Amino acid sequence: MNFETQMIIASNLRTLRISRQLTQAKVASFAGISRSLYAHYELGSRTQDAETLHTIAKAFEIDMDILFERDRDKFLSILASTPSTGSDTAMLVSIYKQLSPYSKGALMEKAFTLLEGDKERESRRRTFIGMDLK
């Protein structure tokens, strides 16, 4: 597999995982691999093997070839049309399609920032709940 294809798959895996609000650990568990290996797949620093990609696609109820999709808009449209994607996701995809390339990049950066903030707040909440129980 060439490096460009590896990076496209990496980006699509990350987008797919985030769109379904899953952790890397959860997707890795679906695929029967370690979280650290899956993280390397998302970063594009390791070549994804066909069996693992097939298992991930099957878990998400998508065709494996979708993970190779180079056109970002088409990939997001496909995700929006899959059964486990809600109407909010479809609306976001529709808005995304109307944005300029610059705005699409800014939106993705903001989405990742928001996701990290949510994780941090959840971690603090869990810590707080644990303190209340003691």
Place of tokens 């109407």: 87
* CATH 1.10.260.40 is right for the domain spanning 3-70: yes
Distances (CA, A) of 4 to 57, 64, 71, 109: 20, 17, 13, 21
DSSP helix, strand, coil percent of the chain (3-state; round to 5): 80, 0, 20
Domain ranges of the chain: 3-70, 103-134
Give pLDDT tens digits for 27-48.
998 889 999 999 999 999 999 9
For the ranges 15-19, 63-67, 92-96, 101-105, the lowest mean pLDDT is seen at 92-96
Whole-prediction pTM value? 0.63
Name the CA radius of gyration of the chain, rounded: 16
Lookup: tokens for 1: 């597999």
Cα 69 to Cα 50: distance, rounded to the nearest angstrom: 15
